[in-house]
A = this chain, B = another copy of it.
Amino acid sequence: MANIQKVAKKAGVSVATVSRVLNNPDVVTLKTRTKVEQAIHELNYEPSALGRNLRTSRSRLLLVLLPSISNPFYTEIINGIEDTAIEEGYNILLCETDSNPERENIYFNMVKNRLAEGIISMDPTVNKKTLTDLAKDYPIVQCSEYDEDGTICYVSIDNELAAYHAVRHLIKLGHEKIALINSDEKFLYARERYRGFQKAMEEFELPIRPEWILNMENVKFEDGQQAMKGLLKQEVRPTAVFAVSDVLAIGALKELNINQIRVPEDIALVGFDKIVFSNMTHPTLTTISQPMYKMGSISANMLINKIKGKAVESVILEHELVIREST
């Protein structure tokens, strides 16, 4: 395989000149430049990123941590991250942690040993202590996630306000018996969205019935279905349900369909995230839209700025209530 030496020899110049042609062509005379380019072409030479990276001690690689790529919530964010990263000359490495600390460690080590230059964490299950420690020495930002002490920069929406808007929407439609399908309260966003729910209910002086607050361990379709099954079994049924993610809502909708319960006539349903599939259900799902692409793009910019040594600040973006057929 051709290397810079061979190109230099063939072109009758020094390796330094070849390097200049590659990185800083303007400082080389047209004549030598064409000579070098000719040699590069003839030898089919491709500069080794390995050598370059070692020399410049930069890998141009960013890590994106997420629990599972199969969660459609992340796809649009990733697009935002990727586009921005590529624009800035970085590539991204999608890292599925499966909420497994061992996996996490593999990826943390990649930034420790310089294989990657920074991390965008979207994993709510990640060990915050580890992450915070790592953030002291390496560029790290969080996307659609943050910890309460907030030492790590993040981009997110106002989860409490968004949940408040979702529930207020149901209340304004006349609903008084509203259930909440939440995820595990170990997640900050789950606690925040609960608070939004609570705030709306209290504001309109509606009772919160504990048996209608369901905390699911996972955020898969089956969990939403399971939750709805639980709600339908109860003596008094709610007339509206707010699920803190579309995936949960779609699972819940499945159970409603199975039981031939009309949506929204019998039970209204609001999701969260506006994933693509939420528009393919029958009926289509009312949901909260997060500016996912933008979140991704901003978090990538934040990280790259951090890598460059610039100061960065956390950002809170606007959400939007998207009213569709399910309410």
A217 in the interface, Cβ–Cβ < 8 Å? Answer: no
A113 CB–B CB distance under 8 Å: yes
**Which of B57, B75, B280 is the one whose CB lies under 8 Å from A251?**
B280
Is A282 engaged at the interface, CB distance under 8 Å to the other chain? yes
Q: Beyond A96-B82, A251-B280, is A91–B110 a contact (Cβ under 8 Å)?
A: yes
- Knowing A91-B93, A251-B280, the reply to whether A115 touches B69 (Cβ < 8 A) is no
Beta-carbon contact of A50 and B221 below 8 Å: no
CB of A78 closer than 8 Å to a CB of B: yes
Q: For A276, list chain B residues within 8 Å (CB).
A: 70, 221
Interface residue A258 (Cβ < 8 Å from any Cβ of B):
yes
The size class of the interface chain A forms with chain B is 35 or more
- Give A contacts to B, CB under 8 Å: 46-51, 53-54, 57, 59, 69-70, 72, 75-76, 78-79, 82, 86, 91, 93-94, 96, 103, 106, 109-110, 112-115, 221, 225, 250-251, 254, 257-258, 276-277, 279-282
Residues of B within 8 A of A103 (CB): 86
**A69→B59 contact, CB < 8 A:** no
Copies of this chain, complex-wide, total 2
Q: CA separation between A316 and B76, bound complex, in Å?
A: 33
CA–CA, A279 to B225, complex, Å? 11
In the bound complex, how far is the Cα of B51 from the Cα of A76, in angstroms? 35
Partner of A46, one of B49, B82, B112, B277: B112
CB–CB A75/B82 < 8 A: no
* A50 contact from B46, B59, B72, Cβ within 8 A: B59
The docked-state distance in angstroms from the alpha carbon of A91 to that of B82 is 18
A72 to chain B, nearest CB (A): 7
- Contacts A48-B114, A280-B221, A282-B254; A106 near B86 (Cβ below 8 A): yes
How far apart are A188's CB and chain B's nearest CB, in angstroms?
A: 26
Across the interface, which residues of B come within 8 angstroms of A93, CB to CB?
91, 93-94
- Given A49-B110, A93-B94, 19 extra CB contacts under 8 A: A48-B114, A50-B53, A50-B54, A50-B114, A50-B115, A53-B53, A53-B54, A53-B115, A69-B94, A72-B72, A79-B96, A86-B103, A91-B106, A221-B277, A221-B280, A250-B280, A254-B281, A254-B282, A282-B282
* Complex CA–CA separation, A119 to B51 (angstroms): 21
**B residues within 8 A CB of A78?**
69, 96
Q: Which residues of B contact A82 (CB under 8 A)?
A: 96
Chain B contacts of A257 at CB under 8 A?
282
- On chain B, the residues within 8 Å of A251 by CB distance are 280
Option from B49, B70, B110, B115 in Cβ contact (under 8 Å) with A72:
B70
A222 to B257 alpha-carbon distance, docked (Å): 22
Complex CA gap A94/B59 in Å reads 16
Residue from A82, A93, A110, A280 with most neighbouring chain B CB atoms (10 Å): A280
Name which residue of chain B comes closest to A115, CB basis: B49
CB pair A113–B48 under 8 Å, yes or no, is yes
Select A47's contact among B47, B51, B113, beta carbons within 8 Å: B113
